[in-house]
Amino acid sequence: MRIGIPAETRPGETRVAATPETIKKLSAKHQLIMQAGAGLAASITDDAYAAAGATIGNAAEAFGADVVLKVRAPSDDERALIKPGTVVIGMLNPFDSANNVAMATAGLRALALEAVPRITRAQSMDVLSSQANIAGYKAVMIAANTYQRFMPMLMTAAGTVKAARVLIMGVGVAGLQAIATAKRLGAVIEASDVRPPVKEQVESLGAKFIDVPFLTDEEREIAKGVGGYARPMPPDWMARQSALVHERAKLADIIITTALIPGRPAPVLISEETVKAMKPGSVIVDLAVSQGGNCPLSELNKTVIKHGVHIVGEPDLATLVAADASALYARNVLDFLKLIIDKDEQLVIDREDDIIKATLLCADGQLLRQ
């Protein structure tokens, strides 16, 4: 089987869907075609890919394979290079219906890795987790870099410096890593989430959980989320959370927001009123900026200063850690590939498999997800 790995062309995308490590594992049985330069932004040379067993080719050759491994959904120009029936695997943006239709019309068999279900068997293929982990780490690095004071408490001959107070909003994979990273730097941390089990996780990392009480059974039920993901909370609960967060934000030096609800705009958690109440020089890193932001003042691809607060609106922070982000992504892809290659090294897309069922966007010209 021929497996192609094109270079990513989306602006700002630095990752690549295969590394020499994964190429080596596949190249004994398959022909691997890497587009020349595909790994350069992640510090991987063509020579390293060739040494691992890949053939270096051009875009048409990489897209002309039987299976195409991507990070991002193919653009219109890229799609034109892919022949009908090709299996395309990547973060294909399953909530973008127009893109799903375009891929179905092109006759692709498209598998969206973001839609991998949160079941134990699929953990090693979970790209949202592998990339969110990196984003949570990098958010703290960016915050520390933007913040004009120290993170840890310091006792020096010139006097004592207080530890930074960090508030984490949304404690999924990114939020937990942000807590752990900020803790290593010596910050004092508080965190908020809707899902009740998060409290214990937050406390086990040495941070304080901001408890927003549930006043009705309905609130308690919605807060459980579905499939590991949050659901939108009722306005009453959001108002109580907002009031509590407003008070904690006044004391915070750094706020990192990561709250997402799949397929919906990100919930607003840090209002303009709250930003106004924050200390001058404090920092907000809004990881949800590409879904509209957890702070309405954050701007996509920009760091802005509003009411004296630095607000970082950098999307896709994993792209700023390109080498490790690619290494983890490529391993997720490799594990996913094992699902669709049988013991005779033939391509088999078993539509009864739970993971395939959840990720297959289209096949044989048929749209399987709107």
What residues are annotated to the active site?
Answer: 118, 123, 126, 129, 229
Q: Minimum Å distance from CB 5 to ligand NAD?
A: 25
Nearer to ligand NAD, 34 or 230 (CB): 230
Per the document, the length of the chain is 370
**CB burial class (10 A; 0-12, 13-18, 19+) of residue 204?**
exposed
Choosing from 123, 148, 204, 216, the residue that interacts with ligand NAD (CB under 6 A) is 123
Window of 43-51, 148-156, 172-180, 214-222 that interacts with ligand NAD by CB under 6 A: 172-180
- Nearer to ligand NAD (CB atom), residue 32 or residue 260: 260
Q: Which residues contact 348 (CB under 8 A, 6 or more apart)?
A: 340, 341, 342
Residue 192 engages ligand NAD in binding (rule: CB under 6 A) = yes
x/- track of binding to ligand NAD for residues 56-95 (CB under 6 A): ----------------------------------------
Decide: 246 and 275 in contact? Cβ < 8 Å: no
- For residue 314, the minimal CB distance to ligand NAD (Å) is 16
The whole-angstrom distance between residue 365's C-alpha and the CA centroid of its chain comes to: 29
**Cβ-based nearer residue to ligand NAD, 39 or 170:** 170
The secondary element (H helix, E strand) that includes residue 362 is strand 360-363
H/E stretch holding 27 reads helix 20-27
Residue span binding ligand NAD (CB under 6 A) among the ranges 34-42, 124-132, 144-152, 350-358: 124-132
Total residues at interface with ligand NAD (CB under 6 A): 27
By CB under 6 A, residue 190 contacts ligand NAD = no
Tokens matching residue 191: 């965190």
Instruction: Rule CB under 6 A: choose which of 14, 129, 282, 359 binds ligand NAD.
Output: 129
DSSP 92-120: --TT-HHHHHHHHHTT-EEEEGGG--SSG
Contact 36, 15 (CB under 8 A): no
Both tokens assigned to 180? 């752990």
Binding footprint of ligand NAD on the chain (CB under 6 A): 118, 123, 126, 128-129, 132, 169-175, 192-195, 228-230, 233, 258-261, 267, 269
